[in-house]
Amino acid sequence: MVGTRVTLTGTNLSGATGGRFNGTAATTFSVRTATTATVTVPPGTTTGNVTITTGVAR
């Protein structure tokens, strides 16, 4: 739902710079800890992958 704040968990999130919902940039983004980030669902979001941009290559 647009405007919903979502907390994502993972690893190596300290250097994260943004989040996307199926390719649409999150309206707000905040790194909380090395393992959690908070993003807000943007308008125009469609069902699909949620991704976080980090400087860590995999």
Q: For 1-40, how does the pLDDT look when each residue is reduced to its tens digit (9 = 90+)?
A: 899 999 999 998 988 999 999 999 998 999 999 999 999 9
Rounded Cα distance between 9 and 4, Å, is 16
Does this model's pTM top 0.75? My answer is yes
Is residue 40 within 8 Å of residue 28, measured between CB atoms?
Answer: yes
Burial level of 31, CB count in 10 A (0-12/13-18/19+)? middle
CB atoms under 10 Å from CB of 27, counted, come to: 16
Domain range summary for the chain, segments of one domain joined by +: 5-53
Query: Vertex 25, ends 4 and 50: CA angle to 5°?
Result: 70
